[in-house]
Structure 1
């Protein structure tokens, strides 16, 4: 039983460390994804606004 405990304890600590690393990695990935979504929305809205301005200019002339 003692040998099993010795083997389980390091595995649990390694698991905790891996879990913490994966959590930080997930937060970094989520942050990067949100930044990409914001940039994509800005480009899309800017593209639509530029397209609308171009069309209105064409119709005005």
Structure 2
């Protein structure tokens, strides 16, 4: 039986989408990126310089631009 102690996907208010475990993320150009960490943060604000991954840029955005 799968381990359901925590969800595989977590939406952080005003921040990234956290993925636990193995996933494949497709970026805006259609390239696929396999997660390689136990927890990966996917950008939701669209401003990260490391797309599709979160680089923390959302922390300096005005509230109206945060996801």
TM-score class normalised by the smaller sequence: under 0.3
Task: Name which one, 1 or 2, has greater alpha-carbon Rg.
Answer: 1
TM-score normalised over the length of structure 1: 0.19
Report 1 or 2 for greater relative contact order, CA contacts < 8 Å, sequence distance ≥ 6.
Answer: 2
TM-score normalised over the length of structure 2: 0.18
**Which has more strand, going by share of residues?**
2
